[in-house]
C-alpha cells in the first residue's frame, strides 16, 4: 500500500481546471491550434460537397470542361487541410512540452519546499510516479485529448446539421446514434476513473520497489535475498498487470461499442439512401456526399473512447499531483533576514515529537547554551533523541514546545535560506548525488575557490578523490555506492566544512572511519571547530574530546552538562556509555586533552572497574 494519505481527492474536471494557469502562457498557441483544427473540420465538410457538385453537375450532364476546375478545387482544399494539420502539430508540440516542463519544474520546487514530515510519510516511488507518469498523462490530454474532445464534438454536430439539411431522414439516423453513445460514455466514465486511480497508485508502489532494489542492491546481494526481493517485485507487478488488464477490458468494451455504432449507421444509410435515390428523393451526388460525410464521423466517434480514457487518466493524474501542491508545509520561512552571525546557539525548554506520533515526545524540556566558537558534544544511548535534537537547528523539523535560537533570534523567525546558510550538517548516513566529486563537495557553496575546496578535503582527509580516474571531476555513482562508507562520510564532511557555517552540526559523522583516519580528521577538525560553533553527536571518547563541553542526553532530556573529565569523574551513566569504546579510548582521549599520565591511568581504572 502506498505510504500516502488514504483519502484521495476526487478525480474530476475540476482537478484539470485548477491547472489551467499553466495554459495561459500558451494561449496564442492554443488559439492557433483550435483555429487550424476548426479550419480542418470545415475543409473536411467542403470536400464532399465539391464531390457532390462534380457528380450531380458535369458527370450527370456528361460535360468534361467543368470537371477540371472542380477537381483542382477539391485538390486545393485537400492540400490546405494538410497544411493546417502541419501547422497545428508544429504549434502543438511547442506548447504542450512547455506546459509539461513548467509543471514539472513547479512540482519539483514544491517537493523541495515541503518539510521532512511530508517526505517521511510518502514513498519515493509514489512521488516519482507523479513527477513522471502523471505529468505525461496531463501533457498528452492537454496537447491532444482536450483539443480533439472539443473539435470532434464540433465536427459531429456540424456534420450532423449538414446531413439533416441534405436529407433529413438520413440525418435523423445519424443523430439517433448519439443517444447510446452519451449513455455509454457516462457509465464508462464512472467505472474508468476508479480503475485508472488504482493503476496509477500501483505504478507508484512498483516504482518504489524498483528504486529500493537498485539503491539497496549491496544489502540484497550480501544477504542472498535476491530471490525474495524478486518475488516481492513480481507480486507487485502481477497485481499491476491484473488491474491494468481490467482497465483494458473496460476500455475494449467501450471502444468496441463505439466502433459498432458508426458501422451500423453506415449500413442503414446505404440502404435508405439507395431507396431515396431510386425514388428520386436523393441525387447520386448527394448520396455519395452523404456517405462520405458519414464516414468522416467514424474517427471522431470511435476516437471518443480513447479521448475519454485519456481525459480520465489526466483527471486522476491532476488529482494526484494536486495532492502535493495542496499539502500545506508545517515549516514556513520566517521574515527575519538575519545579521552578521556569531553562532550563539540556545535550546530553551525544547520539547519535540514527530508529527505522525504527537503523543510520543522524543525530547522533553531540553535546555542548552552553546557560546559562539564553542563546541558541545551530545552523548546518549541509541534512541535518546540526539539526531532529533540536531535536526531542530536547521529546521528539518520544528519544535513542538520551547524554542531554538541563533544569536537570540528564534530559528522559526529567520528566513529559511538565511538559516540554512548559517547551519551546515554532516550526517552519519551521508547522501551523495550522481554528479562529480567536486559538485558533491561544493553543493552548499558552488562559488568556493579551488584552494578552499582543497583545504576542506584536507580537513576531511578526503584526498582519495585525487586518485579517482578524473580526480575531483570524476562522476561518482548514484548514492555514492562506488565509494566506501568512510569515503562517503569524508566527502560529506568536506561539504559541510566548505560551507563555512556559523553553526556546524556533526551527527556522528566519523562513525565509519578507521581509528587512524579518525585521528587525522579530528586533528584537522579541531582547528575548524575553534572558529565556529559546533554541535557534535559522539559515541566515541576520542570524538568527545573535540568538544569544549559535553551534554548527556537520557530519555529525551539533558541530565548533565560539563567537561569530559567532570562527567567521567561524576556520572556513572556517562562512563558506561564511553566504556563501550574500550579502556584505550579514554587513554587516547586524555592524551588528546593533554592530561597527565596519572590522570590517564585513573581514567582507565574507572572505565574498567
CATH topology of domain 13-325: ABC transporter transmembrane region fold (1.20.1560)
Q: What is the tens place of the pLDDT at every residue in 178-214?
A: 777 777 776 776 777 778 778 878 888 888 788 777 7
Residue with cell 497508485: 201
List the domain boundaries for the chain: 13-325, 345-429+501-562
**pLDDT value at residue 53:** 86
Q: What is the pLDDT, as a whole number, of residue 552?
A: 94
Of 119 and 353, which is predicted with more confidence? 353
User: Does the CA dihedral 218-222-226-232 come out positive or negative?
Assistant: negative
146-168 pLDDT per residue, tens: 888 888 888 888 888 888 888 78
Within 8 A by CB and 6+ apart from 284, the residues are 55, 56, 60, 277
349 SS3 class = strand
For cell 435508405, the residue is 272
Q: Which three cell numbers stand for residue 38?
A: 476548426
- The answer on pLDDT for 347 being more than 90 is yes
The pLDDT > 90 percentage for the chain reads 16
How many angstroms from the chain centroid is the CA of residue 234? 24
Specify the pLDDT at position 582. 52
Cα–Cα separations (whole angstroms), residue 174 to 158, 256, 278, 327, 376: 12, 18, 21, 48, 83
Between 511 and 492, whose confidence is greater? 492
Helices 284-296, 146-166: inter-axial angle, 10-degree rounding = 160
- The confidence score (pLDDT) of residue 162 equals 86
Residue 589: pLDDT band (50, 70, 90) is: very low
Query: What band does 249 get if pLDDT is binned at 50, 70 and 90?
Result: confident
Can you give the pLDDT at residue 599?
Answer: 38
| Mean pLDDT across the chain | 82
391-449: pLDDT as tens digits: 999 998 999 999 999 999 999 999 988 898 899 888 877 888 888 889 989 987 888 89
Give the residue, 562 or 98, on which the prediction is more confident: 562
What number is the average pLDDT over the span 332-341? 77
pTM, to two decimals: 0.71
pLDDT at residue 401 in the model: 94
Angle at 328 between CA 322 and CA 333, to 5 degrees: 130
Whether domain 345-429+501-562 has CATH 3.30.70.20: no
Per-residue model confidence (pLDDT) at position 2: 42
DSSP string, 502-554: SEEEEESTTTTS-HHHHHHHHHHHHHHHTTSEEEEE-SSHHHHTT-SEEEEEE
Top-confidence range, 92-96, 348-352, 433-437:
348-352
- Write the DSSP string, 176-228: HTHHHHHHHHHHHHHHHHHHHHHHHHHHHHHHHHHHHHHHTHHHHHHTT-HHH
Assess contact for 427 and 509: CB atoms under 8 A: yes
- Confidence tier at 351 by pLDDT (50, 70, 90): very high
Q: What is the mean pLDDT of residues 490-503?
A: 88
Summarize pLDDT for 46-74 with one digit per residue, the tens.
888 888 888 888 887 777 788 888 888 88
- Of 381-385, 498-502, 517-521, minimum mean pLDDT range: 517-521
Q: What's the N-to-C CA distance of the chain in angstroms? A: 52
**3-state class percentages of the chain: helix first, strand second, coil last, to nearest 5:** 65, 10, 25
Residue 376 in this model has a pLDDT that exceeds 60: yes
If you average pLDDT over residues 342-353, what whole number do you get? 93
Q: Which helix (H) or strand (E) holds 461?
A: none
Q: What is the pLDDT of residue 202?
A: 85
Percent of the chain scoring above 70 in pLDDT: 90
Amino acid at each position: 500500500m502506498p505510504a500516502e494519505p488514504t483519502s484521495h481527492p476526487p478525480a474530476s474536471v475540476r482537478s484539470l481546471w485548477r491547472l489551467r494557469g499553466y495554459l495561459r502562457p500558451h494561449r496564442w498557441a492554443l488559439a492557433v491550434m483550435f483555429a487550424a483544427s476548426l479550419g480542418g473540420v470545415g475543409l473536411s465538410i467542403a470536400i464532399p460537397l465539391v464531390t457532390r457538385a462534380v457528380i450531380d453537375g458535369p458527370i450527370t450532364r456528361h460535360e468534361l470542361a467543368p470537371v477540371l476546375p472542380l477537381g483542382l478545387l477539391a485538390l486545393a482544399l485537400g492540400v490546405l487541410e494538410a497544411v493546417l494539420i502541419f501547422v497545428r502539430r508544429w504549434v502543438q508540440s511547442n506548447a504542450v512540452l512547455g506546459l509539461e516542463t513548467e509543471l514539472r519544474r513547479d512540482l519539483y520546487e514544491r517537493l523541495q519546499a515541503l518539510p521532512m514530515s511530508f517526505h517521511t510519510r510518502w514513498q519515493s516511488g509514489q512521488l516519482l510516479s507523479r513527477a513522471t507518469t502523471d505529468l505525461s498523462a496531463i501533457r498528452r490530454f492537454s496537447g491532444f485529448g482536450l483539443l480533439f474532445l472539443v473539435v470532434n464534438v464540433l465536427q459531429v454536430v456540424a456534420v450532423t446539421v449538414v446531413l439533416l439539411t441534405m436529407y433529413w431522414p438520413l440525418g435523423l439516423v445519424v443523430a439517433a446514434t448519439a443517444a447510446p453513445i452519451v449513455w455509454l460514455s457516462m457509465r464508462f466514465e464512472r467505472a474508468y476513473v476508479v480503475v485508472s486511480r488504482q493503476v496509477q497508485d500501483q505504478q507508484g508502489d512498483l516504482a518504489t520497489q524498483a528504486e529500493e532494489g537498485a539503491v539497496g542492491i549491496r544489502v540484497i546481494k550480501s544477504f542472498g535475498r535476491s530471490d525474495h526481493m524478486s518475488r516481492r517485485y513480481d507480486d507487485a507487478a502481477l497485481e499491476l498487470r491484473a488491474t491494468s488488464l481490467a482497465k483494458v477490458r473496460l476500455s475494449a468494451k467501450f471502444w468496441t461499442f463505439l466502433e459498432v455504432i458508426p458501422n451500423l449507421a453506415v449500413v442503414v444509410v446505404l440502404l435508405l439512401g439507395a431507396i431515396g435515390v431510386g425514388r428520386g428523393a436523393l441525387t447520386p451526388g448527394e448520396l455519395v456526399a452523404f456517405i462520405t460525410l458519414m464516414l468522416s464521423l467514424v474517427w471522431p466517434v470511435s476516437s471518443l473512447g480513447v479521448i475519454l480514457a485519456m481525459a480520465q487518466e489526466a483527471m486522476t493524474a491532476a488529482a494526484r499531483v494536486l495532492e502535493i501542491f495542496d499539502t500545506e508545509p508545517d515549516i514556513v520561512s520566517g521574515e527575519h533576514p538575519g545579521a552578521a552571525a556569531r553562532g550563539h546557539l540556545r535550546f530553551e525548554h525544547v520539547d519535540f515529537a514527530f508529527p505522525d506520533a504527537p503523543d510520543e515526545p522524543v525530547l522533553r524540556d531540553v535546555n542548552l547554551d552553546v557560546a559562539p566558537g564553542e563546541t558541545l558534544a551530545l552523548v546518549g544511548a541509541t534512541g535518546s533523541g540526539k539526531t532529533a535534537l540536531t535536526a531542530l537547528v536547521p529546521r528539518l523539523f520544528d519544535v513542538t514546545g520551547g524554542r531554538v535560537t541563533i544569536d537570540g533570534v528564534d530559528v522559526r523567525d529567520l528566513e529559511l535560506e538565511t538559516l540554512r546558510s548559517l547551519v551546515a550538517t554532516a550526517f552519519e548516513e551521508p547522501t551523495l548525488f550522481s554528479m562529480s566529486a567536486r559538485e558533491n563537495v561544493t553543493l552548499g557553496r558552488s562559488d568556493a575557490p579551488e584552494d578552499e575546496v582543497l583545504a576542506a578535503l584536507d580537513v576531511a582527509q578526503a584526498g582519495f578523490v585525487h586518485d579517482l580516474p578524473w580526480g575531483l571531476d570524476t562522476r561518482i555513482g548514484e548514492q555514492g555506492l562506488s565509494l566506501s562508507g568512510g569515503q562517503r562520510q569524508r566527502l560529506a564532511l568536506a561539504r559541510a566544512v566548505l560551507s563555512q557555517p556559523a553553526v556546524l552540526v556533526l551527527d556522528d559523522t566519523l562513525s565509519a572511519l578507521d581509528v587512524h583516519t579518525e585521528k587525522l580528521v579530528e586533528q584537522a577538525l579541531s582547528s575548524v571547530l575553534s572558529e565556529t560553533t559546533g554541535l557534535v553527536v559522539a559515541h566515541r571518547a576520542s570524538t568527545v574530546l573535540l568538544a569544549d563541553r559535553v551534554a548527556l542526553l537520557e530519555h529525551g532530556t539533558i541530565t548533565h552538562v560539563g567537561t569530559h573529565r567532570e562527567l567521567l569523574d561524576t556520572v556513572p551513566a556517562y562512563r558506561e556509555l564511553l566504556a563501550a569504546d574500550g579502556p584505550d579510548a579514554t587513554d587516547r582521549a586524555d592524551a588528546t586533552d593533554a592530561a597527565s599520565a596519572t590522570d590517564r591511568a585513573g581514567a582507565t581504572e574507572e572505565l574498567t572497574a
